[in-house]
Structure 1
Amino acid sequence: MEFRYASLPHRVIFGAGSSRTSLAAEVEALGAERLMVIASDRDTALVDELLAPWRDRVAVRFTGVRPHVPDSVAAEARRMAVDHRVDGLVSIGGGSTTGTAKIVALTTELPIIAVPTTYAGSEMTPMWGMTTAARKETGVDRRVLPATVVYDSDLVATLPVDLAVASGLNAMAHCVEAYWTEASNPIVRLIATEGVQALAEGLRGLAGTERASGASAADAGTDTAAARERLLYGSFLAGMAFATAGSGLHHKICHALGGAFDLPHAQTHAVVLPHVLAFNAVAAPESAAMMARALGADDAVAGLRDLASAIGAPRGLAELGLTREQLTEAIDLVAGRLPIANPRPVDRADVEAILTGAFSG
């Protein structure tokens, strides 16, 4: 056995209530005196509460967060950081919020404290993304890796169940792809397997929830606190696995769809994942077997599809708003990125089959 494994310099605070008990100390330890707080307008009440103990250190708040980090948002956030002589960043929110902080850090090298409120997992990675002219550009740079991540399962208690489901499957996609990228190794696969199991258990914990619009994870079942904690733990592991393994066919498809058509990020991952898994599982039987065991199933593909059905995951790209005309453009976009390293060789016909299947669900 031969492999290489590089551990990234993570500092993680994990625990219910930790954003209220530990965040102020982490801000103090960062040593920054002129912070930029990055958070969406919809999280204003939460942000006001969390920053109260260190309000005097906040130089500016940026609330113009948008999915896929359009270049106009990046430019405005970077301008504000420079104009206000910011010396540190605190992001409080989901993957788009973390992504905005990363784009600022990419050019300023400012340290980030990330407080995730969804199951994105991107806070554990040195990956960044930005959309310019409907095309999403991504890269890897250690300057964007948060210095500290504070995981507090209390902060996902009000997450709408449909978004919690999509976000959890987004994290699952990080784990699944980590099994077979070129940079994968036995350690990453162990982390990914633990992540798949934790995410599946957490998602099943929400399965009995009524998924009416606005329903939240706090409304589900009798043991939702444990389910939220398992999901957050799984997303942490998913981010760790993705940080080392990097992206492959699945993420390249989802990035193309999100950048070109502004499809919702987490839901797009949730829809596409079973189709890419079905395509690749036959070429990576050992990894598929590990995944199946983590899902509590005999077959990885069937296990993932059963889980998605049980938790009410979105089924097709058409459901997310993609039109048939855009489907043709999407196939051209992804095919234009070939060759893509993958455990099974992939050509244009394969891309067309995967996306056509994902379109109809």
Structure 2
Amino acid sequence: MASFEYNEHSQRVLFGQDSLSKLPSELARLGCSKPLILTTPTKTSYVDTITDLLYGQLAGSFNRVTMHTPTEVTEDALKHCKAVDADCLVSIGGGSAVGLGKALFVRTGLPHITVPTTYSGSEMTPIVGQTEKRVKTTHVDPKAIPAVVIYDVNLTLTLPAKISATSGLNAMAHAVEALYAQDGNPIASMFAIKGIQTLATSLPRIMRNVQDVDARSDALLGAWFCGKCLAGVGVSLHHKLCHVLGGTFNLPHAETHAIILPHALAYLAPSIPNEMKVLAENVPESEGNAVNGLNRLLSKLGITYSLKDLGLKEDDIDVAVTTLLQKPFWSPRPLEADLIHELLRRAWEGKPARMAE
């Protein structure tokens, strides 16, 4: 896929191979010269790469990015940001890095450039999350959408196949839920359908060859489309349940979304027949049933079906159901504790999702 640039009123996107090389010019456009680099402890090589690219002209780095954006980590990052007198933020990595960049933007107002290396789609959304005392909360701040997004396909070529698959399904969940959102609209549905199509076909190609540049490009584009869905409409059962599982039990973000995706859809299916038809038409091998299509996609990608494998304990299921139902939210199908419990038990046991009665 050819490289290109895309501009909206609040965001600029650079897409293509070697697009990270444009970071110096993007910093200059923003009038910034002292970026703070945000990444995870395992990705400090990104800091070295950016340091070389900027000839050492940066404020410093914060390498303690943590999933689910714990408030204590954000506060430590804020102190470091002020101590080094940074004039902008550059997050590089997965959704957790993007999330910390957003959280710091809200607290500082510093321009935020993000370089996604997975398929989370978070870079396209105004959603700011945090976890405090095992409770994950989110709020929407339209200004929190990063000012610049740099999609460098080359940075995804070393992303392991398993992480590629779970990250891609995490993004796909945004699109699936957008189709039946309470505030759904034709524009969000357009992005959703294209995102689902693109990821459902590109992810298996990546599993066959992680160095497939065309498949990687398609997956990044699909994640972009899916992120636009989450930016445009609200969330329901799928995301609310994943927030409980992630925030309360610290389950890994992308893997949890991947496992819950077909289960949440199966629960809601009786109340969204039109959306189920659209999904079945766009998820390969669905044979008229989108839940079966998603089950087959998980199997093809080699993703575990089991929350137990992620560390959830059997006794945690009751806690998760209670926590989920504490704060009412809109759902196309009324939430019944017994049925949600059954949904989670199947996911915990590693059984494929089954259509609700």
| Shared fold (TM-score, shorter chain, > 0.5) | yes
Q: Which runs of 4+ in 1 moved over 3 A?
A: none
The question of whether the paired residues in 1 share the 8 Å contact of 2:51 and 2:57 is answered with: no
Match of 1:345 in 2: 334
Match of 2:273 in 1: 285
The question of whether the paired residues in 1 share the 8 Å contact of 2:263 and 2:347 is answered with: yes
Q: Deviations over 1:94-149 (max 9, x none)?
A: 11111111111111111110000111100110101111111111111123210010
Matched position secondary structure for 1:23: helix
Shift in Å at residue 351 of structure 1?
2.1
C-alpha separation in 1, matches of 2:33 and 2:301: 44
Which of 301, 306, 318 aligns to 2:296? It is 306
Alignment of 1:214-253 (within 5 A): 217-218=210-211, 224-253=212-241
Matched position secondary structure for 2:292: helix
Match of 1:271 in 2: 259
C-alpha separation in 2, matches of 1:341 and 1:85: 43
Match of 1:60 in 2: 60
Q: Deviations over 1:267-323 (max 9, x none)?
A: 000011100011122222222222222213322111111111111112111111101
C-alpha separation in 1, matches of 2:17 and 2:129: 29
Match of 2:18 in 1: 17
Which of 337, 342, 346 aligns to 1:357? It is 346
Q: State the AA in 1 paired with 2:225.
A: L
C-alpha separation in 2, matches of 1:207 and 1:108: 40
Query: How many residues matched?
Result: 341
C-alpha separation in 1, matches of 2:161 and 2:9: 32
Match of 2:4 in 1: none
C-alpha separation in 2, matches of 1:99 and 1:54: 23
C-alpha separation in 1, matches of 2:51 and 2:25: 12
Structure 1 residues 48 and 289: CA distance shift in structure 2, 3 A: same
C-alpha separation in 2, matches of 1:323 and 1:261: 9
Q: Deviations over 1:203-225 (max 9, x none)?
A: 1203436xxxxxxx23xxxxx21
Q: State the AA in 2 paired with 1:9.
A: S
Instruction: Name which of structure 1's ranges 24-33 and 255-264 shifts more when overlaid on structure 2.
Output: 24-33
The question of whether the paired residues in 2 share the 8 Å contact of 1:206 and 1:311 is answered with: no
Match of 1:316 in 2: 306
Alignment of 1:140-159 (within 5 A): 140-159=140-159
Shift in Å at residue 82 of structure 1?
1.9
Match of 1:254 in 2: 242
C-alpha separation in 2, matches of 1:323 and 1:314: 16
Matched position secondary structure for 1:280: helix
Q: Deviations over 1:300-353 (max 9, x none)?
A: 11111111111111211111110111122111111222x221111223223212
Q: State the AA in 2 paired with 1:244.
A: G
Structure 1 residues without counterparts, runs of 5 or longer: 1-6, 210-216, 219-223
Q: State the AA in 2 paired with 1:58.
A: L
The question of whether the paired residues in 2 share the 8 Å contact of 1:192 and 1:238 is answered with: yes
The question of whether the paired residues in 2 share the 8 Å contact of 1:340 and 1:346 is answered with: no
Structure 1 residues 234 and 105: CA distance shift in structure 2, 3 A: same
The question of whether the paired residues in 2 share the 8 Å contact of 1:32 and 1:57 is answered with: no
Match of 1:44 in 2: 44
Q: Deviations over 1:218-266 (max 9, x none)?
A: 3xxxxx2121111111111110111111321111111111111111000
Instruction: Name which of structure 1's ranges 55-64 and 172-181 shifts more when overlaid on structure 2.
Output: 55-64
Q: Deviations over 1:17-39 (max 9, x none)?
A: 2112x222212211112211111
Matched position secondary structure for 2:43: helix
C-alpha separation in 1, matches of 2:314 and 2:9: 42
The question of whether the paired residues in 2 share the 8 Å contact of 1:166 and 1:314 is answered with: no
Q: Identical aligned pairs, as a percentage?
A: 38
Matched position secondary structure for 1:77: helix
C-alpha separation in 2, matches of 1:69 and 1:55: 30
Shift in Å at residue 46 of structure 1?
3.0
C-alpha separation in 1, matches of 2:46 and 2:84: 23
Shift in Å at residue 8 of structure 1?
7.0
Matched position secondary structure for 2:49: helix
**TM-score of the two chains, using structure 1 as the length reference:** 0.91
The question of whether the paired residues in 2 share the 8 Å contact of 1:173 and 1:269 is answered with: yes
Instruction: Name which of structure 1's ranges 281-290 and 257-266 shifts more when overlaid on structure 2.
Output: 281-290
C-alpha separation in 2, matches of 1:318 and 1:277: 20
Match of 1:3 in 2: none
C-alpha separation in 2, matches of 1:323 and 1:280: 25
Q: State the AA in 2 paired with 1:347.
A: E
Q: State the AA in 1 paired with 2:270.
A: V
C-alpha separation in 1, matches of 2:178 and 2:274: 13
The question of whether the paired residues in 1 share the 8 Å contact of 2:27 and 2:33 is answered with: no
Q: State the AA in 2 paired with 1:140.
A: V
Q: State the AA in 2 paired with 1:349.
A: D
Q: Deviations over 1:9-57 (max 9, x none)?
A: 231111122112x222212211112211111232222332234232454
